[in-house]
Structure 1
Amino acid sequence: MRDMTDYARGAAYLAGDYMPIAEAKIPVTHWGYRRSDVTYDVVGVRDGAFFRLDDHIARFRASMTRLRMTPPETDDEIRAILHRTVALSGLRDAYVAMDCLRASPPPGAPRHPAFAPSYLICTAVPWVWVASEEMIARGMHLMIPKVRRIPPESFDPRVKNFHWGDLTEGQFEALDAGADFAILTDAEDCVTEGAGFNVFMVAGGRVVTPARGALDGVTRASVLELCAEEGIPTEIRAIPADEFRQADEIFGCTTAGGIMPASRIDGRIMGNDRPGPLSERLRQRFWARRAEGWHATPVDYASA
């Protein structure tokens, strides 16, 4: 029997077994590794409660169905696995991932994905932030790189995936430009998303987010809900890069960070080089609502 101290760095569920995060490994021959044949989702735990757990599981299932992945676990079983994984870790604030990977075809079977079984990995590790506290305080510095986002006609961005070649290249362009993050555009030079987060702009008091080329983020949906609560008009439409650069305010949003205001885009300083007033208002409201138990599911720590 494992000592619970083994789980101090996090816990994992892998194809039917629970283990400390350091023991979770996959074969290098599996297509999940060799071909990035993986879909995943991430749900956050803050103060001992999941945020929008059922929404994340539903999106995860939709992604698996789209990729024809059929692990043996049902949605109810995935929900129970996530609870137990967090409970084993003992973490009150956790970054909780659910991954579905394709293995590789057994000997003698055709080398086709239809013959490669899929399986589930769930992990809970200490909470991580996409943007640092310093970035949030001063506002993120953004830039639009030369690299373009993989087009939806090639791979549907609404299916969370490990195909990060374009996002990774964009991040190196951001590094070279002295920026924090890159916001990629599509073939029509319209804004899509950043590396792991959706984006919004504020123009004339209206909050606008791209309609195409990005993940349908759960936190993005939460932002739209908050705006409705606060009486802030919203719009979902194509945003040309030039219009985005001239926005009154810009912010990103993600599970691992909530609402993340920006203060610069391609070197242009917005406002007073600090998070804009509407962005900051929404950021504070987001965490206040979270503290009230908004969309919260308490972790069943007894399941450990």
Structure 2
Amino acid sequence: MTETPTPWSAGAAYLDGRFMPIGEAAIPITDWGYRRSDVTYDVVGVRDGAFFRLDDHVRRFRASMEAFRLKPPEDDEAIKRVLHRCVALAGLRDAYVAMDCLRGRPPAGQPYHPAYARNYLAAFALPWISLVRPDVMERGAHLVVAETLRIPARSVDPRAKNFHWADLTKGQFEAHDRGADFCVLLDEDGHVTEGPGFNLFVVADGRLATPDAGVLEGLTRQSVIELAGELGMPVAVRKVEVAELRDADEILLVTTAGGIMPASRIDGRIMGNDRPGPVFRRLHDAFWKKRAEGWHATPVDYASGTI
């Protein structure tokens, strides 16, 4: 006899003070979080029952909220408890866990201005999501440099995570039309920034470099910088010219939703033997080995899922 899935098995959510199965979570379509993309967010991963860099993710989430002048009623410790309980309610050992802060709308009688709108927290835990499919991990992602430019940091600072993805989405359609997996966007001066949901490292002669501006200061990016230092690999945080990207020996894509991922082509040019390279292999294997040993791990409080 087939067991009927519980309503929590697809994921658990927290919305404006209440926990619920993910399928029941919904926000008002009149809120500015929806109508104006007036929201900030962060995503933390759970592997083998433990969060990775939970404190760092919540700290960055708070900094993003402050940048957008959003202040929900929950403090940082309350946010952590919410995330623990979402994972526990869903019963997940490997999870993709998101936290959002949305701006509502001003109540009747108040000025129609964001300063008067209510702010509230949303969070959810889903079964683990990877940015790339297993076959793409095996062969390496195919990239293109998009004609679309990244939104200027003077307008929307990418260090604060946001839903202003129109440039990234347009770039992804360029990649799709050119038969590639992902786009990479440049800034107004022609420097490399990032891709849709990931930071980049270029590798040349065993040296790594990652863009220093116009990007989210990713925590997986920071982890790679730390790990490269431990392994004796030279790494620089600096401006990266597009020519360096196109001429690289290897390109690494790094994100919470996938860890360290390889690329094997850029604008049709094949790197190495059209498969992931040795620097990727070394960092990828070391990253997941350290994760398995408890690096930056916070065990999930599964007892918090008791209803």
TM over 0.5: yes
Q: Distance in 2 between matches of 1:133 and 1:288?
A: 19
Residue in 2 that maps onto 1:67: 68
Q: Distance in 2 between matches of 1:280 and 1:138?
A: 12
Q: Distance in 2 between matches of 1:177 and 1:190?
A: 21
Q: Distance in 1 between matches of 2:290 and 2:171?
A: 33
SS of equivalent residue, structure 1 residue 81: helix
Q: Distance in 2 between matches of 1:262 and 1:279?
A: 9
Q: Deviations over 1:260-299 (max 9, x none)?
A: 0110000000010011110111111111111111111110
Residue in 1 that maps onto 2:9: 8
Q: Distance in 2 between matches of 1:27 and 1:228?
A: 47
Q: Deviations over 1:79-123 (max 9, x none)?
A: 111101110000111100000000001111111100011100010
Q: How does 1:130-145 map to 2 (within 5 A)?
A: 130-145=131-146
**Is 1:251–1:259's contact at 8 Å kept on the other side of the alignment?**
yes
Q: Distance in 1 between matches of 2:260 and 2:87?
A: 24
Give the deviation of 1:204 after TM superposition: 1.6
Q: How does 1:222-241 map to 2 (within 5 A)?
A: 222-241=223-242
Which letter does structure 1 place at the counterpart of 2:47? Answer: R
Q: Distance in 2 between matches of 1:36 and 1:93?
A: 29
Q: How does 1:1-304 map to 2 (within 5 A)?
A: 5-304=6-305
SS of equivalent residue, structure 1 residue 43: strand
Q: Distance in 1 between matches of 2:135 and 2:166?
A: 27
Aligned length: 302
Which letter does structure 2 place at the counterpart of 1:46? Answer: R
Which letter does structure 1 place at the counterpart of 2:231? Answer: E
**Is 1:4–1:88's contact at 8 Å kept on the other side of the alignment?**
no
Which ranges in structure 2 are unaligned for 5 or more consecutive residues?
A: none
Q: Distance in 1 between matches of 2:5 and 2:297?
A: 26
SS of equivalent residue, structure 1 residue 147: strand
Q: Distance in 2 between matches of 1:283 and 1:10?
A: 28
Structure 1 residue runs of 4+, over 4 Å off? Answer: none
Q: Distance in 1 between matches of 2:139 and 2:289?
A: 20
Give the deviation of 1:4 after TM superposition: 8.9
SS of equivalent residue, structure 2 residue 220: helix
Q: Give TM-score scaled by structure 1 length.
A: 0.98
**Is 1:71–1:118's contact at 8 Å kept on the other side of the alignment?**
yes
Which letter does structure 1 place at the counterpart of 2:110? Answer: A
The percent of aligned pairs where both chains have the same amino acid is 63
**Is 2:11–2:90's contact at 8 Å kept on the other side of the alignment?**
yes
